[in-house]
Amino acid sequence: MSICVVSAHQPRVDTGTTTTITNPIDVQNPEVSQAFYGNLKGNPDYYKITSDKPFKLYVNILVPQSPGISSDFVSAEITDSTGKRIALLNGTNSKWTPMFEPFGGDYYLQGPEFAQNVSAGTYYIKVFNTNNTGKYSIAIGDIESFPADESIKALISIPQLKEQFFAKPVTTMFFEFLGIILALGTIMVLFAMLILSRKSEELTQLTIKSNGALKPMLWLGIAITAIVWIYIMSKNPLNIVGLVNSMLLVILVVLSWHTCSKISRMEFGKAPMISMSLTAILWWLFVYWAISVI
C-alpha cells in the first residue's frame, strides 16, 4: 500500500457540497498533500485554511482529462482574512500539462500552482471560472503523508470519486459483474463436473446433486445480470452492440434453463456436453460485449 501512494494526494470528495465565503470547506493540516474534488454549479467554491503558526502554503489546480473537456479552465484566488489577494492562479492564461495520478489511476490536466511560506492566520481559496461550471480538483499541501487510516479512507473514497467525478459507472459495473460472476461461475463449475462425470456413475450422481444445489445461485446471478442490463440499456436503447447482447441474454436464459434441466435428468455416459459447451461459450461472449457497452 505504501508503494501505491507515492506521489499521491489524500482524496477529499466534495462534488455535492455547496460552499460560500461564509460557509467554506475547512481544510485541516494544510501542509499535508490533499486533493479536493469539486463541481462548480453556478457559483464559486470556497476553501478556508487556518493555522496558528507559519507554514508553507501550496495550491495547485487540476481538471480531469477527458474528451470534450471545456476550455474554460478554473482559476483560484488566494486571499487572507482581510480580503487582500495573496495570489491568483489564472487558469485561462496558463499552460495545462497532462498528469497521471497513481493512486486512483486517473489522468488530469495540471494547471498553475502556488507555493510560498506564509504567516499564521486565516486564508481563503476561491475556485471559479467565467460561468462557474465544470469539475475540478484542487491540491493543497505538498507533504506526502498516508498513514493507515488515510489509506483506508482513500480506498473507500476512490470508487465514489470514480463515479461522481469521472462519471464512471462503478456501482452499475459492480452489480453487473456480481451477477455475471454468479451465473458464469456456476455454469463453469457444472461444465467441469460434466466433463468429470463421464468417468464414473458416482461422479454422474454427484454432478446431478451439485446441479440442484447450484441452481439457486445460477438464477440469482441471471436475475441480477438481467436487471442491471435492462438499466444499462435504458440509458442508451439504440446501442447496436447492446441490442445484440440483449437478444443473447434472452437466449442464455432459455439455454441455461434447458441445460440445467437436462443435467437433472441425465444418465451415466449421456452428459449434455453440446448444450453446456454452447452455454459456456455464449456466456463468455455476453461478458465480452457487456464490457464494451458498460
pLDDT digits over 206-227, tens only?
999 999 999 999 999 999 999 9
Q: Are 78 and 85 in contact (CB under 8 A)?
A: yes
**pLDDT band of 292, cuts 50, 70, 90:** confident
Half-sphere exposure for 124 (CA within 13 Å, toward CB):
19
Burial (Cβ within 10 Å: 0-12, 13-18, ≥19) of residue 76 = buried
Average pLDDT over residues 36-57: 92
pLDDT digits over 119-129, tens only?
999 999 999 99
- The answer on pLDDT for 239 being more than 50 is yes
Q: What percent of the chain has pLDDT over 90?
A: 51
Range picked from 52-61, 62-71, 153-162 for highest mean pLDDT: 52-61
DSSP state of 9: P
Question: What's the pLDDT at 5?
Answer: 37
Question: What's the pLDDT at 134?
Answer: 84
Measured CA to CA in angstroms, residue 17 lies from 12, 13, 46, 283 at distances of 11, 9, 10, 42
DSSP state of 237: T
Cα angle, residue 90 at apex, residues 84 and 91 outer, rounded to 5°: 145
Residue 121 CA to residue 81 CA, distance in Å, equals 7
Residue 234 CA to residue 196 CA, distance in Å, equals 42
- The answer on pLDDT for 41 being more than 80 is yes
**pLDDT band of 56, cuts 50, 70, 90:** very high
Residue 265 CA to residue 102 CA, distance in Å, equals 53
Question: What's the pLDDT at 7?
Answer: 41
Residue 133 CA to residue 73 CA, distance in Å, equals 9
Per-chain mean pLDDT for the chain = 85
Segment (H or E) for 153 = helix 148-164
Residue 22 CA to residue 24 CA, distance in Å, equals 6
| SS3 call for 82 | coil
Q: Are 10 and 143 in contact (CB under 8 A)?
A: no
- The answer on pLDDT for 160 being more than 70 is no
- The answer on pLDDT for 147 being more than 60 is no
pLDDT digits over 4-14, tens only?
333 455 555 55
What does the domain layout of the chain look like in residue ranges? 10-155, 170-293
Residue 210 CA to residue 213 CA, distance in Å, equals 5
Cα angle, residue 216 at apex, residues 252 and 178 outer, rounded to 5°: 65
Residue 232 CA to residue 248 CA, distance in Å, equals 15
The residue whose grid cell reads 487582500 is 84
Residue 276 CA to residue 242 CA, distance in Å, equals 24
CATH 2.60.120.380 is right for the domain spanning 10-155 = yes
**pLDDT band of 235, cuts 50, 70, 90:** confident
Question: What's the pLDDT at 156?
Answer: 64
Question: What's the pLDDT at 148?
Answer: 62
Strand 121-128 and strand 10-13: the pairing is unpaired
Question: What's the pLDDT at 174?
Answer: 86
Angle 170-197/148-164 helices, nearest 10 degrees?
100
50 phi and psi angles, rounded to 5 deg: -125, 130
Question: What's the pLDDT at 145?
Answer: 63
Residues whose CB falls within 8 Å of the CB of residue 202, separated by 6 or more in sequence, listed in order: none
**pLDDT band of 94, cuts 50, 70, 90:** confident
